[in-house]
Amino acid sequence: MKKQLPITTYGMQILRKKTKPVTKIDSEFIDLVQNMFYTMDRASGIGLAAPQINLGISLAVIDISAMEEYKSEKPLILINPVISESHGEDIQEEGCLSIPDVRGDVKRAKEVFLKFNDFDLNEKTIELKGFIARVAQHEIDHLNGKLFIDYVSPEQKKEIRKQLSLIKKGNVKTDYKLHIHSGSDNVLY
């Protein structure tokens, strides 16, 4: 049975930590990947990284095929991904399931080459262009403790400050399950 996992929110330390590599693929890991796709889907998300379900491992899933213009794009399972090459730049608005009701403009490469591992931990390389390249860069940032709000302009940062502080206090509502940090969590800022 697939499980909907609560999504960690802005202010939690796990979202700011660099993840550890995945070194073993077992049935538990396969279940985890399934649960991540399920959780992402329930939240109408297009990408989800392991720190967003409170796990410090280098794993992210992407599926943009629910968007009409990208319906032929296949889902991606990125295990230990790194960007090996990037080209061009493009600014687009982004959001994040861990930072509800916040949007901001982010400059990213237009095209990236990724190295990652498949389920046999063999190395693969893929080339991504356009929107899916942006999503992959956002997710790989999550695996390195970075969030899209780190890139927004000082003006935009001012606009989103209030909402960020509400999220940090746990004062946020979504139609998907959230992991709101309690007093015992180590809040970074």
Contact 171, 101 (CB under 8 A): no
- Which positions from 126 through 165 interact with Ni ion, judged by CB under 5 A? none
CA distances for 49 relative to 19, 31, 88, 158, 166, angstroms: 10, 15, 24, 26, 23
Distance (Å, rounded) from C-alpha 118 to C-alpha 16? 25
Looking at the DSSP assignment, which residues form a beta bridge with residue 20?
57
Regarding 96 and contact with Ni ion (CB under 5 A), the answer is yes
Contact 50, 18 (CB under 8 A): no
CA distances for 103 relative to 92, 116, 125, angstroms: 10, 28, 30
DSSP string, 89-109: -EEEEE--TTSTT--EEEEE-
In the complex, least distance from residue 166 CB atom to Ni ion, rounded to whole angstroms: 18
In the complex, least distance from residue 113 CB atom to Ni ion, rounded to whole angstroms: 21
In the complex, least distance from residue 57 CB atom to Ni ion, rounded to whole angstroms: 16
Nearer to Ni ion, 25 or 42 (CB): 42
Q: Which stretch binds Ni ion (CB under 5 A): 79-87, 90-98, 106-114, 151-159?
A: 90-98
Nearer to Ni ion, 120 or 175 (CB): 175
Whether 139 is catalytic is yes
Q: Which stretch binds Ni ion (CB under 5 A): 66-74, 91-99, 157-165, 179-187?
A: 91-99
In the complex, least distance from residue 142 CB atom to Ni ion, rounded to whole angstroms: 6
Q: Of 127, 139, 155, 159, which one is the catalytic site residue?
A: 139
Q: Which residues bind Ni ion (CB under 5 A)?
A: 96
Please give the positions annotated as active site.
Answer: 139
